[in-house]
Amino acid sequence: MLNAKKAKELFEKNQKILVVLHQFPDGDTISSSLALSVYLKRQGKKVDLAVKEEIPEVFHFLTNGIKIRDDFLLGDYDLIIAVDCGDAQRTGFPARLEQISRIKPLINIDHHLKNSLHKIATLNMIDTEASAAAEIVWDLLNYLEAEIDSKIATYILAGIYYDTGGFQHANVTAKTLKIASQCLRRGGRIGLISKNNITSKSPSGLKLWGIALNRVRINANGIVSTYITLNDIKKSGAKSDDTSGIVNLINTIPNSKIAILFVETPDGTIKTSLRTERNDIDVSVLARLFGGGGHKKAAGFTLESNLKSKIMA
């Protein structure tokens, strides 16, 4: 595995470790970071986790009381690990990580394409073929001969589950299923993961989905799109993280080439999510045109605008 030996050396050498999740944390960054931190704690390390935003409620069954910091002091750590971040900006602490990378080791574990974090990291463990960062953490833990118990297996399985939309997306490979199978053998709790994923939509969340689904349109080029305004979120009583998953659902429409969801945010921007299931389309190229990023099949960007002027015109 790429750079695993060096990662092992860094783990052995350093005692106080900070694991950084990405902003607007998803199931993969949360689960992968937890899996890694459980292992490191068992090695006697002092490990903290940090994320800029709160962990969405739907993932509380994973964090299950584990404290995750929303800020940190550079001086408190010997080693920093960024997991699933895609970009320095997306860590939520770009300036600080850039600063720390000059004096302390920074490991970048990711399955996104090379990015700005790649440049400042001391060690990159990147596999763009991996369906989830959890696959890379799995490889690393196995290289380290970690004991994979039911807890770690559940985290790895959850990371994969979320980034593959429950094993439905085109990013699922033979290796993905092999890892999932091994996780199940070690007690990974697939039922717990899928139950929390499917049944955790609140009535107001479902109403918000209804509003977005009611507006779905597909154009002659196979672009499926819909949008959610701030007012929709307010009216339905939903939370902004209730919007996650909508773009995946509209992407299942037959003949869809690209699915796009526009969501108005309180800070006056439009969060745009892109999906495709086609092998000949790379939505990350489109996202990068607008200053965003992501994977070939799942990407996003932020527009400095409002829905009225850009979408409904």
Binding positions for Mn ion, rule: CB under 5 A: 28, 84, 132-133, 163
CA distance 65 to 22: 19
- Nearest approach in angstroms of CB 189 to Mn ion is 20
CA distance 244 to 279: 23
- Nearest approach in angstroms of CB 110 to Mn ion is 8
- Nearest approach in angstroms of CB 306 to Mn ion is 29
CB nearer to Mn ion: pick between 159 and 188: 159
CB nearer to Mn ion: pick between 84 and 264: 84
Residue 237: enclosing H or E segment and its boundaries? none
In the complex, residue closest to Mn ion by CB: 28
Provide the angle, in degrees to the nearest 10, between the axes of the packed helices 190-198 and 150-163: 40
- Nearest approach in angstroms of CB 176 to Mn ion is 12
Tokens found for residue 218: 């597909």
CB nearer to Mn ion: pick between 84 and 232: 84
Cα-based distances in Å from 313 to 100, 213, 231, 303, 310: 45, 20, 17, 15, 6
CB nearer to Mn ion: pick between 171 and 196: 171
- Nearest approach in angstroms of CB 163 to Mn ion is 5
CB nearer to Mn ion: pick between 133 and 246: 133
Residues in Cβ contact with 263 at an 8 Å cutoff, skipping those fewer than 6 apart? 227, 228, 240, 243, 270, 271, 272, 273
Residue whose token pair is 């154009």:
219
